[in-house]
Structure 1
């Protein structure tokens, strides 16, 4: 967690004081002793894979190919190719099992 100087708004550094750790500003004379443990965690909300690929509508008009599903063993799967990396890298192939009961998704 970054702490900022209330006087000049620069990032405070942690240094050893006489008896404890303290926040100090390298620009001005601001110093504040650390009295308790300071922590803060923020977990970002991850998007579902479908949201990134265009949602459920993205799978409506796609072709199918002979690809074995690793989950149920069905012999056909829908596929789409998307450029996920730079232009000099190959496209990523996303598959969805044609078995309506399975619907497993994976990428190659």
Structure 2
């Protein structure tokens, strides 16, 4: 945690205070005589905001106009699945095939 001097706006550093009680600390400025005694524990927690992850597959709309093929679902053993091919790696490697079970109760997704 960084605190800044209210008079000169430099960063305050923590130092042990020898004049008051042993073991007490204070914030002090290196350039001006500003001193702030610490009476209690000072702490704050700031949690970073997680950035929104874009759906690479295009979300639910990506599966609207896809074809189905004879492929067995590993979850429910349904014999048909929708499929789409997407280039996920470099151009010299084969495309990745994504499948989605045609069974509306299952809708399991996997890739090959």
TM-score range, shorter chain: 0.5 to 0.7
Match of 1:100 in 2: 104
Residue 58 of structure 1: which of 35, 55, 62 is its match?
Answer: 62
Runs of 4 or more off by more than 6 Å in structure 1? none
Aligned partners of 1:99, 1:105: CA distance in 2, in Å?
A: 11
Max Rg structure = 2
- The Cα shift of 1:52 comes to 1.2
Matched, 1:71 2:75: yes
TM-score (norm 2): 0.55
Matched, 1:47 2:53: yes
Render the CA deviation track for 1:67-103: whole Å, top value 9, x for unaligned. Answer: 1000000000000000000000000000000000000
TM-score (norm 1): 0.57
Matched residue pairs, number? 98
Q: Secondary structure at the match of 1:52?
A: coil
Aligned partners of 1:73, 1:80: CA distance in 2, in Å?
A: 19
Aligned partners of 2:103, 2:87: CA distance in 1, in Å?
A: 26
- The Cα shift of 1:45 comes to 5.1
Structure 2 unaligned spans of 5+: 1-45
Aligned partners of 1:45, 1:63: CA distance in 2, in Å?
A: 33
